[in-house]
Amino acid sequence: MNEPHRGDSNKKASGISTIDVSLCLDFGGGSSPPFSLAVNVSLPGAGVTAIFGHSGSGKTSLLRSIAGLERKALGSVVVNNENWQNSTFFLPTHKRSIGYVFQESSLFGHLTASGNLRYARKRAKKRTKGLSRKVIEIMGISHLLDRFPSQLSGGERQRVSIARALLTEPSLLLLDEPLAALDISRKREIIPYLELLKQNANVPILYVSHSVDEVARLADHIIVLEQGKVVAEGAVQEVFSQMDVPFSLQEDTGVLLSGTYKTHEPEWSLSRVALSGGDLLVAEVSATVGADLRVRILAKDISLSLSAEDHSSILNRLECEIIDVVEKAEQSMALVKLQTGDDFLIASITRKSLYRLGLVKGMHVWAQIKSVAIVQ
């Protein structure tokens, strides 16, 4: 395997925080098909890093290995310069400063929500003053404290589980598809609390998910796994805008852009969001003027025109320059990368349209955007 990443002296001197993972885990011939995990990455020691991929790609195995739950995982784990394991040393799970939230709530059924939280505080090595009150407020569970887990909804149980994990004051919070067991309404209920967690919790988070929507809304950084290997890694906006996107992202090829809330058009129930290349109209957003928003535009929702089409039902049009074109002879569709202002878009159009319009690198065209999603 590759030489493991380490928390070196340069990182210590500069104050850079990283999560350095170099692990191999071979499940042997007993698995069907045989599966092995081989990951060597250096991740940001702050914010939310998504571990993304289809079922069976190795997401949970990686998370369990980082937590020390897969004793056969060989290699190194260094979290913000703290060595958790290497070729000669292995720190047991209970001594790793982690908070782990599973797909299914693991609350103690004989304790109330408050009792579960008190149990976590007893395990904490540090006792930051006022943390319990802050965590309870972030997760919105003050009215649930006297209830037992059996009296809580699935979303409420997960919020209490996350609060319990935070109250151990971990160096790393591991969330293993915390919304997977919830129905759509419960997912919508808990997502805003996860956003508050991201904004207010001073702890790096590794977030396992196979949902592009969740990743787009919550993550700052992403690693994409396929068959136990890392096939893409980087800032989430950069990875999503790659032309050679991994297979697991192909159906959702598109871009994430940072915009600013500009104004509201109440007569149409629309809001205007400013991007570097122009304004977009979106479904009404509850935000204050100047607020930062994250906008997601899928490649399949963009069509291209050689001129501004005023006689069209499509409201959002941006003037762009073609930066790159990717086509494959055996496929009917082509990808066109566009620049508008400082932002980039990707359009998916038929190869026939590409040739009919004579689209080549350097041309100026109009991107007609049929759908825009606000994800943050």
The crossing angle, in degrees rounded to 10, of helices 113-123 and 131-139 is 140
* pLDDT exceeds cutoff 90 at 254: no
Confidence of residue 3 (pLDDT cuts 50, 70, 90): very low
Q: Are 111 and 144 in contact (CB under 8 A)?
A: no
Q: Are 26 and 1 in contact (CB under 8 A)?
A: no
Listing DSSP states for 15-50 in one string gives T--EEEEEEEEE--TTSSS--EEEEEEEEESSSEEE
Look at residue 127 in the predicted model and tell me its pLDDT. 78
Confidence of residue 329 (pLDDT cuts 50, 70, 90): confident
Q: Are 45 and 17 in contact (CB under 8 A)?
A: yes
pLDDT tens profile 101-112:
998 878 999 999
Confidence of residue 129 (pLDDT cuts 50, 70, 90): confident
| Interval 264-289 mean pLDDT | 92
What value does the mean pLDDT of the chain take? 89
Look at residue 368 in the predicted model and tell me its pLDDT. 95
| Interval 352-360 mean pLDDT | 96
Look at residue 6 in the predicted model and tell me its pLDDT. 39
Look at residue 188 in the predicted model and tell me its pLDDT. 85
Q: Point out the least confidently predicted range of 81-90, 95-104, 255-264, 304-313.
A: 304-313
Q: Are 376 and 306 in contact (CB under 8 A)?
A: no
pLDDT tens profile 212-224:
889 999 999 999 9
Look at residue 33 in the predicted model and tell me its pLDDT. 60
Residues facing 264 on adjacent strands: 271
Residue 47 backbone zone (phi > 0: left; psi -120 to 50: alpha; other: beta): left
Residues facing 94 on adjacent strands: none
Look at residue 248 in the predicted model and tell me its pLDDT. 56
pTM: 0.85
Helix (H, G, I), strand (E, B) or coil at 147: coil
Cα of first residue to Cα of last residue in the chain, in angstroms, is 39
Q: What is the gyration radius of the CA atoms in the chain, in angstroms? A: 23
Confidence of residue 249 (pLDDT cuts 50, 70, 90): low
Q: Point out the least confidently predicted range of 146-155, 225-234, 239-248.
A: 239-248
CA distance 220 to 244: 20
With a pLDDT cut of 70, the percent of the chain lying above it is 92
Confidence of residue 32 (pLDDT cuts 50, 70, 90): low
Look at residue 361 in the predicted model and tell me its pLDDT. 96
Look at residue 7 in the predicted model and tell me its pLDDT. 42
Look at residue 30 in the predicted model and tell me its pLDDT. 55
Confidence of residue 160 (pLDDT cuts 50, 70, 90): very high
Look at residue 374 in the predicted model and tell me its pLDDT. 86
Look at residue 244 in the predicted model and tell me its pLDDT. 76
Look at residue 91 in the predicted model and tell me its pLDDT. 96
Which token pair is 284?
A: 């009404």
Listing DSSP states for 163-218 in one string gives HHHHTT--SEEEEESTTTTS-HHHHHHHHHHHHHHHHH--S-EEEEES-HHHHHHH
Look at residue 12 in the predicted model and tell me its pLDDT. 44
CA distance 131 to 203: 13
